[in-house]
Amino acid sequence: MTAVTVVGQHALVTGGARGIGAAITQRLRAQGCRVTVLGRSAAPGQALAEQDPDGICAVTADVADAGQLAQAVDQARRRFGPIALLVNNAGQAESAAFLKTDAALWQRMLDVNLTGTMLCTQAVLPDMLQAGWGRVINVASTAGQTGYAYVSAYCAAKHGVIGLTRALARELAATGVTVNAVCPGYTDTDLVRESLARIVSRTGRDEATARAELVKTNPQGRLIDPAEVADAVAWLCGPGAGAVTGQTISVSGGEVM
């Protein structure tokens, strides 16, 4: 199979203006991609696009809303053409004991983490199939590879993302489209910093103690840098990963092997 360069290719990154998503957006731009960032809030994506108007555009949609998503993807195509690379990064985590996990919380976790991944992939896959080449990278989580207490709905959704990744990789194996998942451990993002603040407020621990509690599952004893996740995504998008599909790559300092 002929290797395809990513230079000039159109990448769509959901949740692409913050945290891991922002790192992925910048990494793909550095590789020469044109990037559309999609998010529920307009301002963060617009701020990125203003810094690099020739290479980044921003669209707004809830990934779990098929109607909003269709309009956003059409807008992205009008700006940068067919979509060749999709990074399903948008996600949300809420914690609760299982017996306090109501149906609404359960559904929220499925909607944004799993259904959103499915809908985004359906929205852009026709472009890839027509081109005979494409990359779908799902940003799951180590929560999709193992279990964590008090986040059963989130774990279930992320396990579903990995199952979807494997099923779709087999279905598309002969089409030139690869589908893989990247699973970060606890990563140094606003989301984790907010979790630390909640731990401090609920338990009375100091921040250093709370951070040590979070990173103790990582054998390297640290939080993952968002750039490390972006590097894994960028490699999966590149021509050297053409034979890699249906895989789950843990970026977690050895937490999951």
Give the residue numbers annotated as catalytic, written as ranges: 154
Beta strands at 134-139 and 177-184: parallel, antiparallel or unpaired: parallel
Burial of residue 37, with CB atoms counted within 10 A of its CB: 0-12 exposed, 13-18 middle, 19 or more buried = buried
3-state DSSP of 119-149 = HHHHHHHHHHHHHCCEEEEEECCHHHCCCCC
Torsion angles phi and psi, residue 178, rounded to 5: -105, 150
Q: Token match 């993807």: residue?
A: 73
